[in-house]
Structure 1
Amino acid sequence: MTNRSENSFSKWGGDLESVFTTSPLDVDATEFCQALVANTSEGLLTVDEDSTIVFANPAVERILGYQPNELVGQPLLTLVPDRLDQQHTRAFQQYIETGERQMDWDDVDFPARHKDGHEVPVSIRFREHSHDGQRLFTGILRDNTDREKRRNELERYEDIITHLPEGIYRTEACSGGTFVEGNTALREMLDVTSMEALLQQGPADFYADPDERQIFQERLREDGVISDEELKVQTATGETIWTSITAIRREEQGEVYIDGVAEDITERKEREERLRAFREAVEQAGHSIYMTDTDGTIEYVNPAFEDITGYSEEEACGETPRLLSSGEHNDEFYADLWETIRSGEVWQGEVTNQRKTGERYVVNQTIAPVTDDDGEIERFVAVSADITDQKERERTLERQRVALERVKQITDSLRPLNRALAQAPTRDEIEQVVCEQLAASDAYLFAWYGDYIPEREQVTPQEWAEIEDECLDDFAVTTNEGDSVRGPVGRAVHSCDVQAARNILTDPLSESLHKNALDGGYQSSAAIPVAFDGTVYGVIGVYSDRPNAFDEYEQGLLRELGERIGHAIYAAENERLLHTDTVVELEFKTSSAESIFVRVSEELDCRLELKTIVPTSENAYLCYTSVDGVSPEAVATKLSSSPVVENPRVVDATGTSGTVEYKVSQSPVTTLLEYGATVTSAIIESGDETVVGEIAPDADSRKIISGIQAAYPDTTFIAKRSVDRPVRSINLTQDALDELLTDRQREVLELAYRAGFFESPRCSTGDELADALGITSPTFYLHVRKATRKVLEQIDEIGLFD
């Protein structure tokens, strides 16, 4: 049988399909079946017209688990799943009755039922034939399990590729190649309307920069693969997006393709750009920024943090913000801070920190929690603005505000005093009103006024207000101690400036005043010199219950007050002297070597006579002195060696006579002037200086005499006499001036006066007035000088300068 089978199989050429293409059968059915059984691994089934299995080869067992003898005589429905029974029965019965097929018998795929009950994917190809007049149907059965598995896998992969969010594509490798394949994600990414439209285009149609296509292809040819290449793409609608491309070059059946994956990373790039910009902003921010984990350990600091704190990133990271603690804030402060931020809230406030150098600084700090997608706190970020300078400005402004309020208070308090000074006719009334007004003000507790007696170097209170008499002894001081022990009153006299003890109870230098301050209820005091043109008349003592009072602003106000009072005393003394018909004339004679003029007259054997003396703004006097018996140059040379004489120069000289100009700060004449006298004569000859001065009848002549003798010991008081002041008549008429001045001089002088040439600052310059008159500048100045000199000569003739 085996031989017959082999012979029969050989005769068919080993092709089972040829069995079903040969019609009618021209071989014995037995030989046919034997050949199939012996030579094929494919299942073979034969059924009759009743759909009963009449033959099965051994391969059926491998496919469906049935031995052939188990199937023979069984209906074909044994191998058909129950759900397909009716469909199979109807189709087979219809064919038997009508010969009409419902399906193609050449390759039918269907699930067959395995002996153990599971379904096996198979394909069967049927052919109808007959044997011994019997109508039969034989089919070749193939197990499609592996093919179905592969097909399912392909379907699964296709489904995956179809639904991937990344674009999957294949393109032709040539420069103008189009897409061969592409998934939905790619089409949507490139915003193409349909897959057909996509396959008509290529990658070159979507590059935002066409040059990148060439670069991309060259790299792909060289490397064969490119991973995560970022490219800018322009979609079909013109929108620009960022993509990340991974591509590989493949060759299949002689054709070269590029397979790739494209991911839309536009959002990521935008996020990265925002993060980059944020990072750059943080790095370049002028504010200190640092981040900590949830335990407060510093993880990051920006450059401003390093600049402001002095700690480098390496020094700060791993530490906690306690690194910056200044000790200014207590535990409750930090407990409130942590409770706020750990609850998810933002904390904001001012914090005093400490730099690495130990220097303290103030920041306006904001600390905020940083949360993840679930809302859980993962770290904290702190932003600190250094407001140290701002706080200092605020403190300065506050100090200035307080100072201005105090200045206003003091100014308001001094305003009535200024009015009272203008109305006080005598020195005694001035001293009294000063004490009363200062003590009555809101700024001070009490005040006293003391006369300064130069010959005794002593200040003794003469007037006072709001203070007990027995306390005045505490304020009588001697001013001749050295600078190291001299008190405020002594320093005020010698510096001719306000001196203050701003906080007596805490100042070690004011320790001697502690008891008096405690008893008097004051904490600060000031000594105000009362002076005019360098002459100190006395000192005002004022006292306040304010600590740190008498700052520079207040001292400036009090300095001006002292000057006004000094001027008022000077004016009162001179007013009294000017309005009296009788004056007291005092005559002194000194041979004291303390006087430079006595020494000059003795050494040069000459005569000096003071002609004019005028006070200057440098606490000195400008003098014009006539010289007789020696050259004025010799006198000027001698005077220049004295520390009390400045800038001596010869005004005019004729042989052994002439006039010398100089400034003097100390002489018998200046001492007499400082006591308020008017010097009428000063003659120095042969080592003796005779000075005559006039004072008011009620002036303290004894004080003046003792003061001059104390300054110049070898001084003799010659005489004191009452003198009637002569009555002078001034007769400077317009006719007299007309005779003095030419028309041009008068015109120029009047124009200069009307145009403000003599104002300070000048309203018009000489050049401007010269242009207005149509003359040169030198001519203008010549007319002004000549006209002015003629007027002054006339005034001198009528005795106004005497």
Structure 2
Amino acid sequence: MDSAESTRHVFADTLAAFDATPPAPPLTTSEVADVVDCSRRTAYNRLEQLVEDELLETKKVGASGRVWWRSRPTTASQPTADLAHGSYESVVSDVFGTADVGVFLLDDDFDVVWINDSIERYFGLDSAAIVGRDKRQLIRETIGDVVAEPDDFAETVIATYDDNTYAEEFECRITAGNGRNERWLEHRSKPIETGEYAGGRVELYYDITAQKASERALREREHQFRSLVQTVDEYAIFMLDPDGRVVTWNEGAERIKGYSRKDAIDKHVSTFYTKTDRAENVPVRNLATAARDGFVEVEGWRVRKDGTRFWAKVSISAIRDDDGTLQGYAKVTQDMTDRRKHERQLRRERDLVENLFDVSPTGLMVFDTDGDLQRLNSRAKDILGLSHGEHYAASEVDLVGPDGQPLSFEERPLARTLTTGEAVTNQVVREAEATDGDRRWFSISTRPIRDDDNTLKQVVVCTDEITELKEQARQLEQQRDSLQHELDEVFARVDDAFYALDDEYRFTYVNDRAEELLGQPEAELYGQNVWEVLDVADDDPLRKQFETALATQESQIFERFSEPLGIWETVRIYPSESGLSVYFRDITERKEDEQEIVALNRLNTIVRDITDAVIDQSTREEIERVVCDALAEADVYKFAWIANVNPTTNSVYSRIEAGVDGYIGDVSISVDSDDPHGQGPAGRAIHTHEVQVTRDAFDDSAFEPWRDLAREYGYRSSAAIPIVYEGTLYGIIGVYSARKGAFHDGEREALGQLGEVVGHAIAALERKQALMTDTVVELEFRIPGFVEGAAPKSDADGTITLNQTVPIGDGIYLQYGTVTDDAVSTLEALVDELPFWDDVTITEQAVGDATFELRLTEPPVVSELASRGGRVKHPRIGDGDLEMTVYLPHSVDVHRITDVLEDVYPETELVTRHSVVQTDDTAKRVAEAFADDLTNRQRAVVEAAYHAGFFEWPRQSSGEEVADSLNIAGPTFHQHLRLAQQKLLGELVASATASVGE
């Protein structure tokens, strides 16, 4: 006997439940389970296996039931006989060898006799290493390690070995690892009572992983469903047992029926019916119908706990198990009281509509979507002249429009609504032919009627005869046309805006110009009260003027600013007994021009006074104080300030304020154009070097960050004026006005000139201070690879020396120097490559060296040094590198100069920095004279002439050539040169005389 012996009895017992003599009656799963004394699920699994082995047949019955039977006769050669007589090893091997059922076969010492492939797969065991081993030891040493709860597992299984007299069933979970998957198994074991292994035990392990997942999902769904049912309060949902008693109760049932769950459980369903229904046995009949048909749905009165009634819609479903046995009922009740009341109300309203339809004084007709008349009321019959039962076809009636042209059926209201689905309102038509006397006029309206899915269902047509109204309207139009013609002749000669009012200030006439200014056509204004249109306050002087004119019958003429219209106007009011005639003319442009002229004249005076005042100041602080005070004291402005830019924080900081205390400390202004605080007038002026304004702080979106400050400090407009000279920004002037719309074009231009004057004054002062200062900062810079970086295709041989730079205005400079013969090509290449080197002229070519004149436009380094009072000592380009020495006043920010150089030439190196003392007093005095006594033009002429070789012998450049370089006439050049020479020689002679005297 082999290891399949013990399993044989399991299937033999199951198969024995069927009568051996066919045809045997089919059995249900429950009947088989009762016979073999096992669970219904165990019986079902065994029956399925026997069907697969073709020992049984099965079929489904009902919704979820199934029956089983034997279809073949039982003989000694059948597997059952084999199972009964012990020769079933091949059957066990065939059935269990590769089946999804794991098998342990144990002898009477509970050693492992045989295991199948499923056991190896489930527990991760090897048959060769397992067979022959003690199962107790195997559980403790091997199997226990793969079971989720090893102690409970070992205790339960080993207990069957200690008392091998009973069958055992339980579930266990196998953990994943070492090639095995996590799974749930059902353990079923029983003692082997006969055969070779009698006293042993057979253990079966069924893989129920999918079943467990299904059960878990089912429990979750059941939990969700029960939670849903429990929380739904719109419906009473509860279960009844087969006798009709309540077994579950949700919140909806409690709300609708008034019974708590405690009160409702075990009550018979008839409790909720009326006495009449109970007397007529309605509850029992409903349950019987549901049991018979599976479902019943009824409506009727039900009773709450407090005795009140409600109209309910009830559905009852019978619940049966797999075998069709009635388990109870599911009942759903919905409170339909409000809906029933609503339906009854709808019926009453429908009856009302029917009555209104019949008695309406307006002709009413209803057409279907084909245009056929479905019904009409008596008034419609009268209008159409139809007798009882007479046919009417809308398409057969001839109608014309107001213009007398025939209307096709497609142009009429009914056809338009049938085609477009849209309503038509008051389309006026006329009979094409008179039915009796004059042709009649009709007003026709239509309305579409749609069903629930918005599909056109019917069209209602309303019609009224308006013949009399049309005649009255015609007469009124004739009278109006006649009056209008007379008025047009009178008012055609009036150029001003004009309107007429009656004695209650209502519009009776408005001409075209008045329509334009008031912003409404005469048709809309006619009959309106003038104060509703103009929307002026009760205490507005205009009301007083109108009232005075009407009361005194005296004309009123005046000028005013109209807030509602936003214009200046001249108003002339002429009274009459019937009302007022009002003429008004827009004089806004004239008034604004007058105001701008007055403001500009005042501003020009202020600018001239400031210009005169700054010339006499000896420090920058004094200049800024004069400017701020003068602007703040002007009656057109409230206050002013001057601020500088802090490059480290990208913000501005205050230098001077006038007319205000602490404003610049309260306000946040950024230099970052992406920051909202950098998009106001000051931020824009810093970037553009142009005057920037806000003409209305309450309306300009860019001024939003400072709107609250505008209210707090009482200004309406502001301007930011850059203090700029030769491209250098020295600061920002902020000016504020209480005027809305201040800082027009002329005013901005004057303020821009003020910024230039202040910038020029500060630059001149700093330049003068630089020339008069004994101690200066000396900076030595080196730019390695200058030629390679600026003009990479040129050679780096030779030397280029830059001797002097002469500004000639508008950002243009002339630079003079010398160049060795082998560096001429490098110089020309630099002119081609550097954006601010315009052109070069070789003024003298000799062996070895040549002189040249270089024209520059807005060179950043030269411009910055010139504006700061600095100078460069003979920059030199040699071996491809640029070396230069820069002298700056101590007041100048050295980092600013260094930053400018590094922005243009990133390879710049600061070699040395130290202070030096200027000791030549004569040179100083001549320099002072050069700076103070000479005009800008005179200085430019002297420097250009000197470095162009005008004073050499023989001359390298003529006066006319130098004049052309300076873009001035020859006589002008010579005049400036003579005056400059006179001033400089005078100072030189005076210095020499003073030295001799010492």
TM interval, shorter chain, is 0.3 to 0.5
Larger radius of gyration: 1
TM-score, scaled relative to structure 2 = 0.36
TM-score, scaled relative to structure 1 = 0.43
Q: Which has the higher contact order (CA 8 A, sep 6+)?
A: 1
